[in-house]
Amino acid sequence: MSSVLSSAIAQGLLWSILAIGIYVTYRLLNISDLTSEGSFTLGAAVTAFSIVAGVPPILAVLLAALCGALAGTVTGLLHTKMHIPSLLAGILSMTGLYSVNLRVMGKANIPLNQVDTILSNLKDLLHLARDRGAAIPLGILAVALVIGLLVWFFNTEFGYAIVACGNNDHMIIANGVSSDKLKIAGFAIANALIALSGSLVCQYNGYADVQMGIGAIVVGLASVIIGEVFAKDKSFVFVLLSIVLGSVIYRLIVAFVINTSIVSANDMKLFTAVLVALAIWFTDLSQRKGGKKHA
């Protein structure tokens, strides 16, 4: 397997956890949440600071996920208790998190060159030559754990209630259940996953940077939309696996485009935005055609 291909697969797996987090709010809660750009960086910042301070990498990852959940909770409270529209609540949280991330790191960038990370620990455990050689096994393990926990959780009564709230919150309220509590929980879960992704990606990259979350939501949406092509009318676990596949496919597309010089690396954000716009447009066209056929 070439280094470019293995790198694309590894990044696709690690970034897929971000995509799953975005799927929780974008599809299950039916809410657009821009907190992700800040919580992704927050996960990286907390992890880098903790590891440099001597915290074991696995605890640093868990702490990052917890901080992401707190960031999501803040957005949920802004939306539900202060009645701020979800899009604006996410923007406010994302803006505030920029300063929080700078406070956590103390500077704009923290390198992880001379410290142990979860990748270096896994490399030693598997007797591999390079830290990045452990990225694919780590990605598979992390994705399996995340999907397993989500499938279990969303098959509980509370998990079903969150999905029902996304489908019709008026019905939830009519049944005497607090939709606010469900939405806050959904925001917290989604941003915990996004921060977890940021934590793993920063250890893969070997640094945390205050700018690394810019465009993260577009990357996540691209993965979700590509994945949904393979996940029509399937079970929840298959949908999650399809999102993982969508993330890997997206990374393979990016690697191909850059290595064949079709698009400059400087234009990748623009390329991703155009790709997502076209994917949403084609999805909308196919749904309209499907509706006309059934009419």
The per-residue pLDDT for range 259-290, each reduced to its tens digit, is 888 888 788 888 888 888 887 888 777 777 76
Q: Which letter does DSSP use for residue 32 in this model?
A: -
The CA distance from 103 to 2, in Å, is 39
Instruction: State how many domains the chain has.
Output: 1
Examine residue 224 and state whether it is found in any structural domain, yes or no.
Answer: no
Examine residue 23 and state whether it is found in any structural domain, yes or no.
Answer: yes
- For position 295, what pLDDT does the model report? 47
Examine residue 88 and state whether it is found in any structural domain, yes or no.
Answer: yes
Examine residue 218 and state whether it is found in any structural domain, yes or no.
Answer: no
CA dihedral 275, 281, 286, 287 (to 10 degrees): 130
- For position 194, what pLDDT does the model report? 98
Q: Which letter does DSSP use for residue 283 in this model?
A: H
Examine residue 164 and state whether it is found in any structural domain, yes or no.
Answer: yes
Examine residue 275 and state whether it is found in any structural domain, yes or no.
Answer: no
Examine residue 288 and state whether it is found in any structural domain, yes or no.
Answer: no
Can you give the pLDDT of all 295 residues of the chain as single tens digits?
578 899 999 999 999 999 999 999 999 999 989 999 999 999 999 999 999 999 999 999 999 999 999 999 999 999 999 999 999 999 999 999 999 999 999 999 999 988 999 999 999 898 887 888 899 999 999 999 999 999 999 999 999 999 999 988 888 887 778 899 999 999 999 999 999 999 999 999 999 999 999 989 999 999 999 898 887 767 899 999 999 999 999 999 888 888 888 888 788 888 888 888 887 888 777 777 765 554 4
Provide the domain limits for residue 139: 3-212
C-alpha dist (Å) from residue 33 to 4, 183, 187, 232, 240: 32, 11, 8, 23, 19
214 close to 220: Cβ distance less than 8 angstroms: no
The reported pTM is: 0.94
Examine residue 268 and state whether it is found in any structural domain, yes or no.
Answer: no
